[in-house]
C-alpha cells in the first residue's frame, strides 16, 4: 500500500481523497481488470463511473464542471491506479489532453469538451506518433491544409492511447509542410467526421487493457475553428505541456514499483524452500532492502517534483529526469520482484507478471529515455 502519511506534499484532505479513490478502485476497477485485459479495452461505463466519482480531470475549473483542484489530486489518482496494476487511459485524459484544451482552447472549445471529459461522457486521445516518426515530432507527415474555412486532414497515426474509444482526437499535424517546428499545429478531430477511421487495436507486449490504436485520416474536413490555439504554434504547445506529462509517467512508475516490491515481500514471506521461507535467505532480504531504500528515495523525489510542479517551477529538464529515473527504477524493481517469485513470476495468474509486462513501455512513451538524457544534457 502507498503510504502518504508524513509526506509533506499531502494533507488530511488529500488523504481523505486517497481513501475515496482506493474504495472506488476496489469496487469498480479491481473486479474488472482481468476482463479488460482479455478484451483489450476498458468499458465506457467505467469512464462514466470515474466521472461521477470526481476522478476525471479534477484540476479543471468549476465553471467547466471540474473540481478546481491542483495537480496533487491527479497524483493521488495516478499513484493508486498504477498501484492497482491497471493501464486504463484515464490518466491521459486527466493529466494531458484536458490541459491542452484548457490552456489553448477557445471558450467555445472549452465549454463544448471539458464538461464532457470531466463527466466521462467524452473520451479523448492525442495523436502524435506516426508509423515513421516517433520522438522527432517536427518530422511528422500528417497534414491539415487550409481549404477555405476548413482544414483537410490527411495522414496516419499509430500507438495512440484511447484510440478505440476516443470521441475527440487532438491531432498533431503540419499546417505548413515546408516548415518543421513552425509548421506544426494542433487540430481537434471529432471521431464522427467523414474520412476518420480507426485501425487495429494493437497487440502489445503489455498494458493489454489500454486500447492502443492506429488512426487514419483521409480528406477529413474540419472547420478552421477546430485549430487548438494558434496555427503554427503546436510544437511550442507540446513542449510547454511536457513537464506535466513526464511527471505523470514518473508518478505512475513509482507507484508500480511500490506494488511490485509489496508483491515480492508478500510472496517471499509465504513461499517455503529448503525448509524455510524464501524471505529468510540473505539474498532475498538484501535484495528487498536495496529496493526499499530506492523506493524511499523515489518517493522523496516524487514529492519534491510534485511540489515544484504545483508551484509552477518544475522545468522540462527536471521532469525529464524524473521520467528517466522513475521508469528505470520501475523496470528494475519489477524485474527483481519477478525473480524473487521464481517460476511463479512467469505465470500470468500472478500480479507481478502483469506489472512486469506493463512496465516495459514506460521507458519508451512520453519520449524515450534516451531522449530524456538528451534533454537533460542540453540543460547542463
Which residues are the active-site residues? Answer: 245
Cβ atoms of 134 and 206 within 8 Å: the answer is no
Integer CA distances (angstroms), 10 to 15, 96, 172, 298, 375, in order: 7, 22, 35, 16, 30
Query: Angle between the 316-340 and 234-270 helix axes, to the nearest 10 degrees?
Result: 20
Q: Identify whether the C-beta of residue 331 lies closer than 8 Å to the C-beta of residue 363.
A: yes
- 29-35 long-range contacts (CB < 8 A, ≥24 apart) are 29/81, 29/84, 29/86, 29/88, 30/84, 33/84, 33/85, 33/86, 33/209
Mention every residue, 6+ apart, whose C-beta is less than 8 A from residue 299: 7, 254, 258
Number of C-beta neighbours around residue 250 at 10 A: 29
Return the closest-CA partner of residue 316 out of 274, 234, 372.
Answer: 372
Is there a contact between 113 and 168 (Cβ–Cβ < 8 Å)?
Answer: yes
**Rounded to an integer, what distance in angstroms lies between the CA atom of residue 306 and that of residue 314?**
8
| One-character DSSP codes across 308-359 | HHHTT---HHHHHHHHHHHHHHHHHHHHHHHHHTGGGGGSTTSHHHHHHHHH
Q: Identify how many contiguous H helices and E strands the chain contains and give both numbers.
A: 12, 9
Give phi and psi for 312, each to the nearest 5.
80, 25
**CA separation for the pair 346, 364 (Å, rounded):** 23
Sequence-ordered list of residues with C-beta below 8 angstroms from that of 125, at least 6 positions apart, any chain? 89, 92, 97, 160, 161, 162, 163, 166, 168, 169, 170, 215
Residue 141 to residue 4: CA distance in whole angstroms = 45
Amino acid at each position: 500500500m502507498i503510504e502518504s502519511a508524513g509526506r509533506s506534499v499531502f494533507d488530511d484532505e488529500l488523504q481523505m481523497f486517497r481513501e475515496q479513490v482506493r474504495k472506488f478502485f476496489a469496487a469498480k476497477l479491481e473486479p474488472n481488470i482481468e476482463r479488460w485485459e482479455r478484451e483489450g479495452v476498458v468499458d465506457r461505463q467505467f469512464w462514466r463511473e470515474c466521472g461521477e466519482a470526481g476522478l476525471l480531470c479534477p484540476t479543471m475549473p468549476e465553471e467547466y464542471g471540474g473540481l478546481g483542484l491542483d495537480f496533487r489530486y491527479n497524483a493521488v489518482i495516478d499513484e493508486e491506479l498504477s498501484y492497482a496494476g491497471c493501464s486504463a487511459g484515464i490518466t491521459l485524459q486527466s493529466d494531458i489532453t484536458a490541459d491542452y484544451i484548457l490552456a489553448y482552447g477557445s471558450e467555445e472549445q472549452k465549454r463544448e469538451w471539458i464538461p464532457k471529459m470531466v463527466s466521462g461522457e467524452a473520451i479523448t486521445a492525442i495523436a502524435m506518433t506516426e508509423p515513421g516518426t516517433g520522438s522527432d515530432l517536427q518530422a511528422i507527415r500528417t497534414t491539415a491544409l487550409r481549404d477555405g474555412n476548413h482544414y483537410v486532414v490527411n495522414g496516419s497515426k499509430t500507438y495512440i492511447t484511447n484510440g478505440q474509444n476516443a470521441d475527440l482526437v487532438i491531432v498533431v499535424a503540419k499546417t505548413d509542410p515546408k516548415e518543421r517546428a513552425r509548421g506544426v499545429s494542433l487540430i481537434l478531430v471529432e471521431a464522427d467526421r467523414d474520412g476518420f477511421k480507426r485501425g487495429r487495436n494493437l497487440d502489445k507486449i503489455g498494458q493489454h487493457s489500454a486500447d492502443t490504436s492506429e488512426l487514419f485520416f483521409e480528406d477529413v474536413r474540419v472547420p478552421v475553428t477546430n485549430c487548438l490555439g494558434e496555427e503554427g504554434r503546436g510544437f511550442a504547445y507540446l513542449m510547454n505541456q511536457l513537464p506535466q506529462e513526464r511527471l505523470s509517467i514518473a508518478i505512475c512508475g513509482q507507484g508500480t514499483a511500490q506494488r511490485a516490491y509489496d508483491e515480492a515481500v508478500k510472496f517471499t514471506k509465504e513461499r517455503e524452500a529448503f525448509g524455510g521461507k524464501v524471505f529468510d535467505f540473505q539474498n532475498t532480504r538484501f535484495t528487498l532492502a536495496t529496493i526499499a531504500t530506492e523506493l524511499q528515495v523515489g518517493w522523496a523525489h516524487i514529492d519534491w517534483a510534485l511540489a515544484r510542479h504545483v508551484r509552477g517551477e518544475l522545468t522540462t529538464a527536471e521532469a525529464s529526469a524524473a521520467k528517466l529515473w522513475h521508469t528505470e527504477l520501475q523496470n528494475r524493481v519489477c524485474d527483481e520482484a519477478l525473480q524473487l517469485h521464481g517460476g511463479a513470476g512467469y505465470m500470468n495468474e500472478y500480479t507481478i507478471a502483469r506489472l512486469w509486462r506493463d512496465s516495459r513501455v514506460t521507458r519508451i512513451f512520453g519520449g524515450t529515455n534516451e531522449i530524456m538524457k538528451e534533454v537533460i544534457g542540453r540543460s547542463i
